[in-house]
């Protein structure tokens, strides 16, 4: 019995140790030391939750923040760094990292405030490289105020919620793109302990008007396929490059020798059955088939190499490694072809490499080298740099905004002989996505790249929006808005522009802008609020005091805008409806609602709008407001889709929140009921 009791007590002791905060912290340190950052943060999370010691929790939170920062989960990293500094009077290391990830999150003001707190704790002579963050703040502001002449667009046909990066053109005519992705469908089903993503594979997309359609039988099996010819060329759905190249491990970051059709790519597949990091492999493309795969023996198997880029003549291969002999972190190296073999690696030197990380080299046919680096001279995260060869040195320059942003920007590639191409960036929601870029010709008459935005109360997802620009100089172009309705327009001096925005089931909107001389100050409004047919639009400034139906000057101004719209679109029939809150009796609210609707319609008629085009409706308290995105953005207690019913409002315990909800119900709406086609034909 004593032996049994002793055994049970020993097991309980072991279990208590195994479940202690210190145990999870040690496991996290072990995973972090092995480079398994995603696994590491999960252990730090458990250690943090199980401990009540503030100093211990602060240390663990800092390590969790470092783990997330390393794998570019910057929003999560910021939350952990904030926990770390919240539990200590002074934690300068965490403050520096918090400032860095806040820059990458686009929160520049927060980053500056965080760094000022750091400066309070650390004397100037003890700050080291961290002091250079001040230069980062200044550069971001300056470069964004004076952007370079590039047009940037996301490659929506290629991007997913996973990571897409390192694009290359597989053919000389640039109609085939190969890129790296961690999307679903990759051969590896396991999760990478380093990043938390699936293992990456190489994918291919073709720019063509020929679309392959699979024919399935009743059981859903593919029995045949056929080619359909479409009216327009477009990028096709990406497919895995080849099972002879992709594996269950990481493949990606490739380049191709267009003269020999040899593909070079990075892979983490095992060498001799052992995990030896990443290596560079080559494979010749023979027609539509791939030849035998060869591992490049650039360095001993114990070292990692990757990110290959080959010169136009196929004689020089550039790559990345953290091998000894560098300047710290990952450096860019090169090897020369010597008698059918690759020679000894040569570091590109301190003009290119720093104590930080230099990665994703790309050598153009003109000898200019492009690469990414997280050095402090950038805007935050990885920035893209261009290096121009001059005698025995390189002149290195940051490509600035908008090629670079506060987030990671990397893996650039150019179309042969053109100032356009592709690159990767995490600027959209933190995921690595592929973007196209094109440098515009510098024009002495170019004033600025103006930005505009299209909004719609119901959101733009799935809407077919068209933007057309015409100028009195004969320029014409169609502009594609981004997912958030944003667009950019080059503005020249002494030019008159007409910008037309249209879409299915929307009223067409136009704006005419005229510019003066090159030195004249511009104050452009390129924002459009679309009006959809059959969709209620809240007239934001048509507000009434409690139990009142008298129009204020602000209300008349909003109705004047509606008059202008009806004059521009003399073929629309509108409904104007008034709504009240729940205060007072239903009968009284119905009466007030009717009076408010009628006074609005009367005002429109006074301004020359035909009464036959107007319908006055009153709903009193019967149709509560449904919260849109704007309401959620403005008030954190509301969510999109919330119905501001009496039950919803009276559940709110905060009187100010109740009043906000009541005011949102006290509204006047306009809805385009229909377009009078008979009247349209007379225009």
Q: Examine the domain organization and report whether 614 and 676 are in the same domain.
A: yes
**Does 621 fall in a domain?**
yes
For the stretch 107-116, contacts whose Cβ atoms lie closer than 8 Å and that sit 24 or more positions apart, written own/partner, are: 108/137, 108/140, 108/141, 108/406, 111/137, 112/137
Paired tokens of 493 = 């001096």
Residue 13 has pLDDT above 60, yes or no: no
Last residue of a domain, one of 439, 474, 496: 439
Whether 421 is covered by a domain: the verdict is yes
> Quick check: 515 pLDDT over 60?
yes
* Cβ(423)–Cβ(438) below 8 Å: no
Is the pLDDT at 664 greater than 70? The verdict is yes
- The crossing angle, in degrees rounded to 10, of helices 37-50 and 74-86 is 30
Whether 552 and 643 share a structural domain: yes
In the predicted model, is pLDDT for residue 67 greater than 80?
A: yes
In this predicted structure, what is the pLDDT of residue 11?
A: 45
Average pLDDT value for the chain: 85
72 in the same domain as 40: yes
9 occurs within a structural domain: no
Q: How many residues does the chain have?
A: 683
Provide the pairing of β-strand 446-455 with 527-529: parallel
pLDDT digits (tens, 9 = 90+) for 560-591: 888 888 888 887 888 888 888 888 888 888 88
The CB density around residue 121, as the number of other CB atoms within 10 Å, is 12
Question: What is the domain count for the chain?
Answer: 4
Sign of the alpha-carbon dihedral angle for 676, 678, 680, 682: negative
What CATH number does residue 669 fall under? 3.30.1330.60
- 167 and 310 both lie in a single domain: yes
* pLDDT score recorded for residue 193: 67
CB 112 within 8 A of CB 137: yes
Cβ atoms of residues 517 and 447 within 8 Å: no
Same domain, 249 and 351: yes
In angstroms, rounded to a whole number, what is the distance separating the alpha carbons of residues 660 and 634? 11
Q: H helices of 620-654, where?
A: 629-634, 646-651
Q: Token digits for 329?
A: 């972190």
Q: List, in order, residues 6 or more apart from 397 with CB less than 8 Å away.
A: 385, 386, 387, 388
Residue 79 has φ and ψ, to the nearest 5°, of -60, -40
Same domain, 384 and 456: no
Cα 296 to Cα 261, 305, 347, distances in angstroms: 16, 10, 17
Peptide bond into 402 cis (omega under 30): yes
**CATH code, 478:** 2.60.40.1120
* Local confidence band at 546 (pLDDT 50, 70, 90 cut-offs): low
Is residue 14 in some structural domain?
no
Say if residue 507 is in the same domain as residue 591: no
What confidence tens digit (pLDDT) does each residue in 276-294 have?
789 999 999 887 788 889 9
Q: How far apart are CA 415 and CA 128, in angstroms?
A: 41
Q: What is the CATH number of the domain that holds 246?
A: 2.120.10.30
pLDDT band at 680 (very low <50, low <70, confident <90, very high): very low
Tokens found for residue 186: 């990759």
- Determine contact, residues 78/86, Cβ cutoff 8 Å: no
User: Do 259 and 370 have their domain in common?
Assistant: yes
Q: Please report the pLDDT score of residue 171 as a whole number.
A: 80
What whole-number distance in Å separates Cα of residue 656 and Cα of residue 214? 59
Q: What gap in Å lies between CA 89 and CA 71, rounded to an integer?
A: 28
Both 650 and 611 in one domain: the answer is yes
| Of 374, 432, 403, 352, nearest in space to 143 by CA | 403
**What was the pLDDT predicted at 2?**
44
Q: How far apart are CA 479 and CA 487, in angstroms?
A: 7
Q: Which of 111, 126, 145 is the last residue of a domain?
A: 145
What is the Cα–Cα distance from 212 to 224, expressed in whole angstroms? 10
336-347 tens-digit pLDDT: 998 888 999 999
Structural domain boundaries enclosing 141 = 20-145
Looking at 145, 171, 189, which one is the last position of a domain? Answer: 145
Residue 15 lies in a domain: no
282 and 398 assigned to the same domain = yes
Angle between helices 54-70 and 74-86 (to 10 degrees): 160
DSSP state string for 54-79: HHHHHHHHHHHHHHHHHTT-HHHHHH
Confidence of residue 683 (pLDDT cuts 50, 70, 90): very low
Q: What is the pLDDT of residue 281?
A: 95
For residue 4, being part of any structural domain is answered with no
pLDDT digits (tens, 9 = 90+) for 219-259: 777 767 777 787 788 899 999 988 889 998 899 999 999 98
HSE-up of residue 10 (Cα within 13 Å, Cβ side):
6
pLDDT value of residue 411: 97
Axis crossing angle, helix 108-121 with helix 133-145, rounded to the nearest 10: 160
Beta-bridge partners for 425: 409, 433
Residues 475 and 348 both lie in one domain: no
Secondary structure (DSSP) of 457-500: TT--TT--EEEEEEETTS-EEEE---TTSEEEEEEETT-EEEEE
424, 452: one domain: no
Is 3 within a domain? no
- Give the CA angle between residues 624, 628, 633 to the nearest 5°: 125
pLDDT value of residue 521: 66
- With contact defined as beta carbons under 8 Å apart, do 64 and 49 qualify? no
**Structural contact between residues 424 and 435, judged by C-beta atoms closer than 8 angstroms:** yes
């Amino acid at each position: 019995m004593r032996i049994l009791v002793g055994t049970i007590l020993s097991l309980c002791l072991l279990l208590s140790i195994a479940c202690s905060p210190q145990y999870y912290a040690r496991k996290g340190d072990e995973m972090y030391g092995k480079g398994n950052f995603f696994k590491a943060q999960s252990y730090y999370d458990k250690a943090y939750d199980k401990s009540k010691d503030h100093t211990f929790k602060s240390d663990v939170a800092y390590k969790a923040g470092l783990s997330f920062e390393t794998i570019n989960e910057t929003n999560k990293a910021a939350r952990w760094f904030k926990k770390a500094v919240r539990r200590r009077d002074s934690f300068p290391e965490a403050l520096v990292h918090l400032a860095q990830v806040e820059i990458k999150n686009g929160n520049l003001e927060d980053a500056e405030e965080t760094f000022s707190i750091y400066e309070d704790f650390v004397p100037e002579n003890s700050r080291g490289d961290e002091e250079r963050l001040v230069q980062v703040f200044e550069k971001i502001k300056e470069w964004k105020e004076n952007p370079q002449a590039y047009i940037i667009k996301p490659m929506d046909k290629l991007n997913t919620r996973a990571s897409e990066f390192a694009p290359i053109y597989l053919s000389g005519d640039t109609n085939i793109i190969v890129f790296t992705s961690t999307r679903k469908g990759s051969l590896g089903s396991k999760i990478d302990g380093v990043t938390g993503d699936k293992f990456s594979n190489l994918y291919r997309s073709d720019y063509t008007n020929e679309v392959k359609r699979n024919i399935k039988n009743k059981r859903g099996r593919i029995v045949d396929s056929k080619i359909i010819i479409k009216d327009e060329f477009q990028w096709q759905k990406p497919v895995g490059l080849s099972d002879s190249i992709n594996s269950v491990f990481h493949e990606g970051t490739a380049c191709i020798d267009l003269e020999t059709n040899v593909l070079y790519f990075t892979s983490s597949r095992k060498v001799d059955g052992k995990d030896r990091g990443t290596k560079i492999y080559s494979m010749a493309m023979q027609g539509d088939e791939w030849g035998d795969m060869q591992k490049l023996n650039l360095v001993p198997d114990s070292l990692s190499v990757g990110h290959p880029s080959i010169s136009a003549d196929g004689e020089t291969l550039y790559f990345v490694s953290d091998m000894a002999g560098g300047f710290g972190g990952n450096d860019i190296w090169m090897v020369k072809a010597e008698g059918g073999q690759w020679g000894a690696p040569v570091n590109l030197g301190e003009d290119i490499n720093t104590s930080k990380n230099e990665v994703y080299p790309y050598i153009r046919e003109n000898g200019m080298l492009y690469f990414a680096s997280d050095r402090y001279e950038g805007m935050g995260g990885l920035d893209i740099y261009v290096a121009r060869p001059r005698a025995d040195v390189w002149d290195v320059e940051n490509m600035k905004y908008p090629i670079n942003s506060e987030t990671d920007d990397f893996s650039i590639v150019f179309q042969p002989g053109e100032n356009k191409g592709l690159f990767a960036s995490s600027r959209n929601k933190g995921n690595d996505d592929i973007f196209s870029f094109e440098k515009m010709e510098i024009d002495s008459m170019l004033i600025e790249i103006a930005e505009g935005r299209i909004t719609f109360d119901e959101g733009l997802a799935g809407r077919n929006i068209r933007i057309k620009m015409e100028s009195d100089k004969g320029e014409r172009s169609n502009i594609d808005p981004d997912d958030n309705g944003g667009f950019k327009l080059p503005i020249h001096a002494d030019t008159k522009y007409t910008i037309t925005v249209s879409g299915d089931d929307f009223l067409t909107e136009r704006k005419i802008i005229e510019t003066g001389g090159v030195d004249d100050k511009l104050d452009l409004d390129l924002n459009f609020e679309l009006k959809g047919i059959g969709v209620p639009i809240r007239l934001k400034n048509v507000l009434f005091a409690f139990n009142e139906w008298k129009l204020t000057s602000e209300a008349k101004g909003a109705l004047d805008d509606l008059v202008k719209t009806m004059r521009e679109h003399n073929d629309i029939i509108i409904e104007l409806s008034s709504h009240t809150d729940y205060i007072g009796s239903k009968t009284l609210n119905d009466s007030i609602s009717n009076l408010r609707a009628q006074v609005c319609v009367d005002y429109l008629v006074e301004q020359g709008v035909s009464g036959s085009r107007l319908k006055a409706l009153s709903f009193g308290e019967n149709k509560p407001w449904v919260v849109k995105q704007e309401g959620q953005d403005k008030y954190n207690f509301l969510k999109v889709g919330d119905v501001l019913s009496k039950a919803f409002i009276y559940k709110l315990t905060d009187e100010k929140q109740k009043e906000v909800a009541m005011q949102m119900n006290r509204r006047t709406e306009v809805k385009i009921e229909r377009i009078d086609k008979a009247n349209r034909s007379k225009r």
